[in-house]
Amino acid sequence: MNLIAFDVGGTQIKYGIVTENGEVISAALFDTPKYSGGAGLVSVLIRLARELMAKYTVAGVAISTFGLVDAKNGVIIGAAEAIDGYTGTQLKAELELALQLPVAVDNDVNCVAMAEGWQGAAKGVGNYIAVAIGTGIGGGIVIDERIYRGHRAAAGEWGYMRIDGLIWEDHASMRGLQNSVNQSIDSAEPLDGKAIFALYDQGNTQIQAIVQAWFKLLARGLANLIYAFNPERIVIGGGITARGAQFLHELTSAVQTELQPDFQEMTQIVLASAGNHAGMIGASKNWLNTYQTK
C-alpha cells in the first residue's frame, strides 16, 4: 500500500510516496506558496497529489504541517504565521473533497516524533519525547505509544517555558546561541552555528564560556522535561545534531549534572535518526494509526 505524503514547511514542501512499511519510494521539493494564503496552499497540494496519483496507486494522503493542528478534523487552528490566512484552513475536508481519498493531518513535530518511534531512534520505546532544537525549541510527546496532543493541540510547546527567568527557546535554541555569541564578540560577519562550534573546538575561551552557559541552560530545560514526563528516551533533532557523538556526550553530561541523583541515568538521550524525510514518514504513520485502527 502506498500513501501520498506531504511535509509542509514555511519555505518548502517535501512530498512523495511512502509505503505502509515507512519506505520513501519517491520524494521531491516544491516551494511553499507563502503569499497565496491557505487556499493557495490547498490548490498546490491538490495539484501535486494529482500528479502522484497519475503515477502511483495510493490509499490516502498523509500531511505533516507547521502550526497548531486539530488532528481529528484536520484543521489549522493557530500559530501558522508563515502563510497569511493559513489559520482556519480545513486541509482534511478540502483535500478529501478534491481527491476522494482519506486524509490525515498532524503537526510537523508530532510527525517527526512518530517517525522516530516507527523507523528511528525511539523504535520499540513506548514512552519518549522528541525535542527539536533550531530557531526555536519544540517537540512531540509519546505516552504508551500514542502521541499526546493536549487540550488544543499545543502540547510540546516547551520552548515558551521560563528557565532562570528566561524564555527557554530565546536563549537555548540555536538562534539563542548565535545571538549570545554575536552580541558578545567582535566579528566582521555574524557567526552561524558551524562557525561558533569550530571556534569552540579550537579553544577560543570567550566562545567556550558562552557555549558552556548555553549547554547549561539547554540541559536545565531538558531536566525539567525529564521530571515532568519521566520518558525512557529523549530524541534530540535539529541541525546541531550534525556534531554527532561529541554533541551527544556534551549534552548528556550537562543534563546529568542538572538532575537529582534518583533521576540520573533514568532517561537515555539519543540523536534523531529517522532522516531528512521524517516528516513524511511520521505523517504516514499518523495516517496508518488513524485509518488502520478503525
Residue 82 is predicted with a pLDDT of 81
Distance CA 227, CA 15 (A): 37
CATH code at 2-106: 3.30.420.40
| Fold held by 121-271 | Nucleotidyltransferase; domain 5 (3.30.420)
Residue 24 is predicted with a pLDDT of 98
Strand-pairing partners, residue 269, are: 234
Residue 216 is predicted with a pLDDT of 97
Residue 135 is predicted with a pLDDT of 87
Equal CATH topology for 2-106 and 121-271: yes
Residue 294 is predicted with a pLDDT of 52
The string of pLDDT tens digits covering residues 167-220 is 999 999 999 999 999 999 888 889 999 999 999 999 999 999 999 999 999 999
- Average pLDDT of the chain? 95
The string of pLDDT tens digits covering residues 93-137 is 999 999 999 999 999 999 999 999 999 999 999 999 999 998 899
- Which residues touch 60 (CB under 8 Å, ≥6 apart)? 3, 4, 101, 102, 103, 104, 287, 291
Map out the domains of the chain as residue ranges: 2-106, 121-271
The pLDDT-based confidence of 293 (bands split at 50, 70, 90) is low
The string of pLDDT tens digits covering residues 53-81 is 999 999 999 999 999 999 999 999 987 67
Closest CA to 95 of 17, 38, 33, 28: 38
